[in-house]
Amino acid sequence: MVEVSSEELLLWIQNVNKEEDRDSLYLLIDLLAGISRAEINSLKINPQKIINMKVSLDSLSKNWTEFIQNKKPIQYLSGCCYWRDLNLEVNRHVLIPRVETQQITDIVLSLISSSTKELLITDLGTGSGAIAISLALECSLWKVLATDIEQNAIDLARKNFKKYSNKDNLQLFYGSWWQPLKKYAGKIDIAISNPPYIPLKVYENLAISVKNHEPQIALNGGVDGLLHIREIIKEAPKYLKKDGWLLLENHFDQAQKVKTLMLHSGFERVEIIKDLYGIGRFTIGRYK
């Protein structure tokens, strides 16, 4: 721990943050130094107070420069990120889980009438494990099977789960989409995926903070963005139970196409669900 007076920290904030992004600066201090924005606000009335920071002001300055100059996301600089009520470890092998994806957990919870029932849930392309972990923590009777094509993501998701649970109701599998789940064919109650869905041309023009730092394999969805979504939907009938649900996150303009793909693959009650910004971000259907 590094001891710093409140005054020093407040002065540092004032000096470093001329006109740049204040929210990002507070996030950096929170994730790297362990001092929340609320705490910083309270220091303003107590400038003599000594605080204990996880890193020095010098280290904060270096990381802030890296953020400003190289556009490296603060979550990668600090190695962690807030998502729902979790603080997950992240690294360059996994996507930083997004705010809009948090809704997936709520949608799944709204489908389940009783938490006393055993369920088999899959999270295809789990990355840091965000979706899978949030569901496995909801109920130990639910068995969550998560897959990813990136072994480093599997390792990280396992570590993230262990931080919150000593149960074994999350199992992680290396491999492509459904392929590692052959022995669960026809048994899955709810399948979820937030797959790579960015169309190639859009991917090529993404902001540097995303394109230069987040894994291409987590974002690039091929020419029309639907390469992986098509594959997941095509194979879903082999793995879902009759009446099982498939829930996909998609790009802002893909929901109608995803809906059509699901209807052509034997799904019914296919619905588009809007995210908090009013965008048709999720498509859900029930396998007949």
Ligand X SMILES: C[S@@+](CC[C@H](N)C(=O)[O-])C[C@H]1O[C@@H](n2cnc3c(N)ncnc32)[C@H](O)[C@@H]1O
Residue of the chain from 24, 59, 91, 176 that contacts ligand X (CB under 6 A): 176
| Binding flag, residue 221, ligand X (CB under 6 A) | no
- In 3D space, the residue among 143, 188, 189, 190 whose CA is nearest the CA of residue 165 turns out to be 143
> Would you count residue 74 as binding ligand X (CB under 6 A)?
no
C-alpha dihedral over 23, 96, 110, 176, to 10 degrees?
A: 170
| Smallest distance from ligand X to CB 134, Å | 10
Site for ligand X in 125-154 (CB under 6 A): 125-128, 130-131, 147-150, 153
φ, ψ dihedrals at 145, nearest 5°: -110, 120
Under the binding rule (CB under 6 A), the answer on residue 227 touching ligand X is: no
Q: Indicate the residue type of 236.
A: A
Q: Per CB under 6 A, does 9 bind ligand X?
A: no
Q: If binding is defined by CB under 6 A, does position 194 make contact with ligand X?
A: yes
d(CA 160, CA 89): 6
Output 125 or 199, the one with its CB closest to ligand X: 125
Instruction: Tell me whether residue 10 or residue 210 sits nearer to ligand X (CB atom).
Output: 210
Site for ligand X in 76-95 (CB under 6 A): 94-95
Count CB neighbours of 218 within 10 A: 21
Candidates 52-60, 119-127, 269-277, 280-288; binding stretch for ligand X (CB under 6 A): 119-127
Which of 31, 33, 76, 97 binds ligand X (CB under 6 A)? It is 97
- When binding is defined by CB under 6 A, the residue of 68, 217, 273, 279 that contacts ligand X is 217
Please state the closest distance from residue 255 (CB atom) to ligand X, in A: 16
Does residue 275 interact with ligand X by CB under 6 A?
no
Alpha carbon separation from 149 to 179, 204, 228 (Å, rounded): 10, 22, 12
The yes or no reply on residue 235 touching ligand X (CB under 6 A) is no
Copy the structure tokens of residue 70. 């190289």
Nearer to ligand X, 12 or 203 (CB): 203
Q: Kindly tell me which residue out of 29, 218, 258, 261 binds ligand X, with binding defined by CB under 6 A.
A: 218
Q: Which is nearer to ligand X, 31 or 43 (CB)?
A: 31
Residue showing tokens 């390792």: 155
Binding stretches for ligand X (CB under 6 A):
94-95, 97, 101, 125-128, 130-131, 147-150, 153, 176-177, 194-196, 217-218
